[in-house]
Amino acid sequence: MHELLEGLLLPSFGNEALLERHDGATLNISGAKLAFTTDSYVVRPLFFPGGDIGTLAIHGTVNDLAMCGARPLYLSLALILEEGLPMETLRRVVESMRASAAVANVQLVTGDTKVVDQGKGDGIFINTAGIGAIEHGISISPRNVRPGDAILLSGDIGRHGIAIMATREGLSFENAIASDCATLWEPVKALLDAGVEVHCLRDLTRGGLSSALIEIAESAGVRCAINEAGIRVREEVAGACEVLGLDPLYLANEGRFVAFVPEQEAERAVVILRNVDVSSEATCLGQVVNGPAGLVTLRTQLGTERMVDMLSGEQLPRIC
């Protein structure tokens, strides 16, 4: 994906907004500052503990806007339905989208529906695009990340990845692990309302915490030095990772983000985040330091330091 972006898409379409490599584009239109983003949702299974493809399609796009520091306002919705999809399934997904949009306080204002032949789709594919209003004067972008910045993490990691994998593979754990799928505008708004000088925000989706940090370290030309002690993983997620040989740093999340703020604002920002439900377990994860560009290092609890690498392909369960 990373290679596709750098090797094909950016060279083909490169423009100022796109080259920011941010979750959404920041645009000035007739004096109004807007954020614009789009995302497509293909997930198997369609339903999983804690959410479904509908909740993902709303929260995912809302969160991309929030990561631009924009108040999410309007979404478009495009449905690609496979012939033979039970109407009841579609109703459930639409109801999830309605409920999620209500929570996120966004309106679906335009849309499209296409039907493809049986076998040509995976039940439902969804695309949503979103527009949000940027109502503050701060520039939130990887290029504003600088040595000395504190890296904050909004909560425990890995729940969405394990929830999906457990449902997909029919793995049962003593306690079902629910996805962390949630809207992230509220904690971002809290930071901005309090006047925290946010340098960059990034939600942790596919590729997990490690990919988010590596991408920002690459874009900003810095090194991210993080502490294992700042990473929270629910006991049941940690257990599933132990059994399957997976690393929580690479697991997908749908309701977590990292924030880069000036060092002197870190403590205050963590307190602000902890006052919001979805980020009540926020921690200070580490610090931005001088190069090498693109490197993420992790100080283990034993006091040693190792690099955190970009994953080559999907994480695969080990043999024994």
Q: Which is nearer to another protein, 51 or 207 (CB)?
A: 207
Cite the beta strand spans of the chain per DSSP E. 25-29, 32-41, 47-48, 51-52, 71-82, 107-116, 124-133, 150-153, 200-203, 223-227, 257-261, 283-289, 296-299, 305-307
DSSP state of 9: I
d(CA 228, CA 217) in angstroms, rounded, equals: 18
Go through 226-263 and write b for each residue having 16 or more CB atoms within 10 A of its CB, e for each that does not.
bbbebbbbbebbebbbeebebebbbbbbbbbbbbbbee
Q: Which is nearer to another protein, 19 or 307 (CB)?
A: 307
242 is a contact residue toward another protein (CB under 8 A):
yes
Contact 69, 136 (CB under 8 A): yes
42 is a contact residue toward another protein (CB under 8 A):
no
Tokens found for residue 72: 């999410």
Q: Which of 83, 245, 263, 280 binds another protein (CB under 8 A)?
A: 245
Stretch that binds another protein, among 22-30, 54-62, 101-109, 308-316 (CB under 8 A): 308-316
Letters for 288-307 (x = contact with another protein by CB under 8 A, - = none) are --xxx-xx-x--xxxxxxxx
Stretch that binds another protein, among 25-33, 77-85, 242-250, 256-264 (CB under 8 A): 242-250
30 is a contact residue toward another protein (CB under 8 A):
no
Q: How far is the CB of 169 from another protein (least distance, A)?
A: 7
6 is a contact residue toward another protein (CB under 8 A):
no
Interface residues for another protein in 71-90 (CB under 8 A)? none
235 is a contact residue toward another protein (CB under 8 A):
yes
d(CA 239, CA 171) in angstroms, rounded, equals: 13
Q: How far is the CB of 211 from another protein (least distance, A)?
A: 14
Q: How far is the CB of 316 from another protein (least distance, A)?
A: 3
d(CA 182, CA 79) in angstroms, rounded, equals: 21
Tokens found for residue 200: 């960059």
Cα angle vertex 58, ends 313, 255, to 5°? Answer: 60
Omega before 292 within 30 of 0, i.e. cis:
yes
Q: Which is nearer to another protein, 31 or 170 (CB)?
A: 170
Interface residues for another protein in 143-182 (CB under 8 A)? 169, 171
Which residues of the chain form contacts with another protein (CB under 8 A)? 169, 171, 235, 238-239, 242, 244-245, 290-292, 294-295, 297, 300-307, 309, 312-313, 316-320
